[in-house]
């Protein structure tokens, strides 16, 4: 009896302590800019990140419990869709854009190819309610989670409150996504002076700096601006990009500059997934650029590259693939929760 | 010796208590001067009819002033009024000073619209946050009318927008008030809807110049009475 009491007291203290030490400090890789995300308003903790991870992989977020965030953002593909050009949602409904790879989101100032979303915390509302994606409503998701056997407890652990709110749900999803930092590619080792580029990679790096760096800027390999990189308009989609949001003609055909990190895993490329191989991307820049009025000035003259140069550039781009990112078990499917499912 | 200052302090405190007052604000969406009944079909002068099934609206940034100087700002001043939940239509400000004007906004400011997911009345689960393009919906008026050539004759006005010239946040000020303890703010939806040609305009679901115009028109129809 007494022993039991002592042990439970001890356990309670440990639990309390671990609640306190639960905080995680978001590490900014050396030489990277300050994140845009305001961690002060949503401080990271282990339990919140874990809750977010579970939500990210749980199809309960969709109307018929078939589609999770990970259905379109798979960890093995740097959190984009495997092999699909356009996203593939509930009941095989096809969306109008390619799902972007998810990484280094703490530095992003807007979300979606057209920047329609202004903050990571409200990003998840879009797929949850989009009829072509998860086709659910937030109040209904909350009802389902509240009556679930596991979630009230997990929300309690994360927030000290088992009553689930939209704010907590959305912020937990953000917490998990914020931890998806890719910073261990060969390029990063070279920058940290722990490795060196081969001769080909060095030549490719120089070409990258000359032709690509103005938009795909180091170290995140995007400057998060909206640009028209000269793609021809696919008239089955007629996607005007950023203009749909700002209604300004100068934004016609502009899309958010995507990162060049982890391209090995995130094919196909561009907002509509039109290119399957990097070779096609380079051919586009070298000879496929369409001269529309909003074409970026840097691309007006085209990017001349011979085959050798393309080869160097592709060698360099390969140094941006981060194997530790796609194989990180902390980002993967949270098996332990889903296995012990009904019991908890 | 010590008693005197104590007494003075006490008196001073009492005076403070007397000066500090409260204000009950009652918002009433109306048709023909009477609270809107969501079950009822209203006749329009043209003979057409109309039902209002939903009215929800953010009231924010409530403040009080004297001679144009702000003397009180309600902390965390974001309230979601919902016609279907009468308790949400009553707001109370406690411990307020004397004032001669009251100010508030219809809608949610841009700072809240760009800073992520908030709690309480601002929680996106309230259904007043746009999913596909970030930003709060300042107010919603929904219903149906034989004038609308839409699915189930529905009209849906989701009025919002925080950026640039599509900013649909509107300020309301009532001057020359005598610091009453209660005020009724009538929202005459009949007047507002009758300025809209429902045959032409029945669906607004995103920020636009029309949305800004309709927000201004709502603010202009408000009828505020002191009690």
Query: What domains does chain A contain, in order, with CATH numbers?
Result: 23-182 (1.10.760.10), 186-321 (1.10.760.10)
Please compute the mean of the pLDDT values over residues B198-223 and round it to a whole number.
Answer: 95
CB contact under 8 A, A128 and B131: yes
8 A C-beta contact, residue A122 and residue A42? no
Q: Is 0.90 exceeded by the ipTM? A: no
Of A308, A288, A314, the closest CA to residue A299 belongs to: A288
Look at residue A339 in the predicted model and tell me its pLDDT: 65
Look at residue A301 in the predicted model and tell me its pLDDT: 87
For residue B124, the chain A residues in CB contact (below 8 A) are: 122, 125, 138, 166-167, 170
Q: Give the range among A15-24, A97-106, B103-112 with minimum mean pLDDT.
A: A15-24
DSSP count for chain B of H helices, then E strands: 4, 14
CB contact under 8 A, B125 and A165: yes
Q: Give the range among A117-126, A128-137, A261-270 with minimum mean pLDDT.
A: A128-137
Of B110, B94, B83, the closest CA to residue B25 belongs to: B94
Please compute the mean of the pLDDT values over residues B182-187 and round it to a whole number.
Answer: 95
% of chain B at pLDDT higher than 90: 82
Name the pLDDT band for A335 (thresholds 50, 70, 90): confident
Of A339 and B156, the one with more pLDDT: B156
pLDDT above 80: residue A9: no
Look at residue B20 in the predicted model and tell me its pLDDT: 72
For residue B112, the chain A residues in CB contact (below 8 A) are: none
Q: How far apart are CA A28 and CA A49, in angstroms?
A: 17
% of chain A at pLDDT higher than 90: 78
Of B34, B28, B50, the closest CA to residue B202 belongs to: B50
pLDDT above 90: residue A265: yes
Say what the pTM is.
Answer: 0.89
For residue range B73-119, what is the model confidence (pLDDT) as tens digits? Answer: 999 999 999 999 999 999 999 999 999 999 999 999 999 999 999 99
Look at residue A302 in the predicted model and tell me its pLDDT: 86
CB contact under 8 A, A119 and B126: no
Name the pLDDT band for A94 (thresholds 50, 70, 90): confident
How, if at all, do strands B69-73 and B203-204 pair? unpaired
Look at residue A96 in the predicted model and tell me its pLDDT: 83
CB contact under 8 A, A166 and B131: no
Name the pLDDT band for A166 (thresholds 50, 70, 90): very high
Look at residue B16 in the predicted model and tell me its pLDDT: 44
By Cβ distance, the residue of B119, B126, B134 closest to A122 is: B134
CA distance, residue A99 to nearest chain B CA (Å): 15
Name the pLDDT band for B14 (thresholds 50, 70, 90): very low
- DSSP letter at A257 equals P
Average pLDDT of every residue of chain B? 91
% of chain A at pLDDT higher than 70: 91
pLDDT above 90: residue A344: no
How, if at all, do strands B182-188 and B21-31 pair? parallel
Q: How far apart are CA B6 and CA A184, in angstroms?
A: 69
pLDDT above 60: residue B9: no
Average pLDDT of every residue of chain A? 90
pLDDT above 60: residue A7: no
For residue range B26-75, what is the model confidence (pLDDT) as tens digits? Answer: 999 999 999 999 999 999 988 999 999 999 999 999 999 999 999 999 99
By Cβ distance, the residue of B126, B127, B129 closest to A122 is: B129
Look at residue A93 in the predicted model and tell me its pLDDT: 73
pLDDT above 90: residue B176: no
8 A C-beta contact, residue B18 and residue B178? no
Q: Give the range among A19-23, A26-30, A237-241 with minimum mean pLDDT.
A: A19-23
Of A18 and A219, the one with more pLDDT: A219
Interface of A with B (CB under 8 A): 38, 41-42, 116-122, 125-126, 128-130, 137-139, 142, 165-171, 174, 245
Look at residue B19 in the predicted model and tell me its pLDDT: 61
Look at residue A1 in the predicted model and tell me its pLDDT: 47
For residue range B108-128, what is the model confidence (pLDDT) as tens digits? Answer: 999 999 999 999 999 999 999
Of B122, B124, B135, B132, the closest CA to residue A169 belongs to: B124
8 A C-beta contact, residue A52 and residue A73? no
By Cβ distance, the residue of B117, B119, B127 closest to A139 is: B127
By Cβ distance, the residue of B119, B127, B132 closest to A126 is: B132
């Amino acid at each position: 009896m007494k022993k039991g009491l002592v042990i439970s007291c001890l356990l309670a203290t440990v639990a309390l302590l671990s609640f306190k030490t639960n905080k995680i400090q978001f590490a900014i890789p050396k030489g990277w800019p300050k994140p845009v995300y305001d961690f002060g308003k949503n401080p990271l903790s282990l339990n919140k990140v874990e809750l977010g991870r579970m939500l990210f992989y749980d199809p309960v977020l969709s109307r018929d419990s078939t589609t999770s965030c990970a259905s379109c953002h798979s960890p093995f593909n740097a959190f984009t869709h495997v092999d699909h050009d356009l996203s593939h949602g509930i009941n095989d409904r096809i969306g109008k854009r390619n799902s972007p790879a998810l990484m280094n989101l703490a530095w992003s100032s807007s979300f979606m190819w057209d920047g329609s979303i202004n903050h990571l915390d409200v990003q998840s509302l879009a797929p949850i309610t989009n009829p072509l994606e998860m086709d659910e409503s937030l109040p209904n998701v909350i009802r389902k989670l509240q009556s679930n056997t596991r979630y009230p407890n997990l929300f309690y652990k994360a927030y000290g409150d088992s009553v689930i709110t939209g704010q907590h749900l959305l912020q937990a999803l953000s917490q998990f996504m914020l931890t998806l930092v890719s910073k261990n590619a060969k390029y990063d080792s070279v920058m940290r002076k722990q490795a060196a580029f081969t001769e080909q990679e060095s030549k490719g790096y120089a070409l990258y700096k000359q032709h690509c760096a103005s938009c795909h800027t180091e170290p995140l390999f995007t400057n998060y601006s909206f640009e028209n990189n000269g793609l021809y308009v696919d008239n089955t989609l007629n996607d005007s990009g950023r203009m749909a949001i700002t209604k300004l003609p100068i934004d016609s055909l502009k899309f958010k500059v995507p990162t060049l990190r982890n391209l090995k895993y995130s094919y196909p490329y561009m907002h509509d997934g039109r290119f399957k191989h990097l070779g096609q991307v380079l051919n586009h820049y070298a000879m496929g650029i369409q001269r529309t009025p909003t074409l970026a000035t840097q691309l007006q003259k085209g990017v001349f590259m011979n085959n050798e140069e393309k080869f160097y550039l592709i060698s360099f781009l390969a140094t941006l693939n981060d194997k530790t990112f796609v194989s990180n078990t902390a980002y993967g499917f949270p098996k332990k929760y889903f296995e012990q499912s009904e019991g908890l | 010796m010590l008693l005197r200052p104590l007494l003075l302090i006490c008196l001073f405190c009492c005076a403070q208590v007397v000066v500090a007052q409260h204000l009950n604000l009652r918002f009433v969406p109306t048709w023909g001067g009477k609270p809107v009944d969501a079950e009822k079909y209203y006749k329009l002068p043209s003979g057409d009819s109309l039902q209002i099934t939903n009215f929800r609206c953010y009231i924010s940034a409530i403040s009080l002033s004297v001679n144009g100087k702000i003397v009180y700002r309600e902390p965390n001043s974001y309230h979601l009024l919902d016609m279907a939940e009468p308790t949400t239509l009553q707001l109370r400000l406690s411990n307020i000073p004397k004032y001669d004007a009251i100010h508030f906004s219809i809608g949610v400011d841009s700072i809240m619209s760009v800073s992520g997911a908030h709690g309480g009345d601002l929680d996106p689960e309230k259904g007043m946050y746009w999913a596909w393009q970030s930003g709060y919906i300042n107010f919603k008026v929904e219903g149906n009318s034989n004038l609308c050539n839409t699915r189930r004759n529905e009209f849906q006005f989701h009025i919002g927008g925080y950026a640039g010239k599509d900013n649909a946040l509107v300020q309301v000020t009532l001057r020359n008030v005598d610091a009453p303890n209660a005020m009724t703010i009538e929202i005459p939806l009949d007047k507002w809807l009758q300025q809209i040609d429902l045959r032409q305009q029945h669906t607004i679901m995103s920020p636009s110049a029309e949305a800004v115009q309709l927000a201004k028109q709502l603010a202009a129809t408000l009828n505020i009475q002191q009690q």
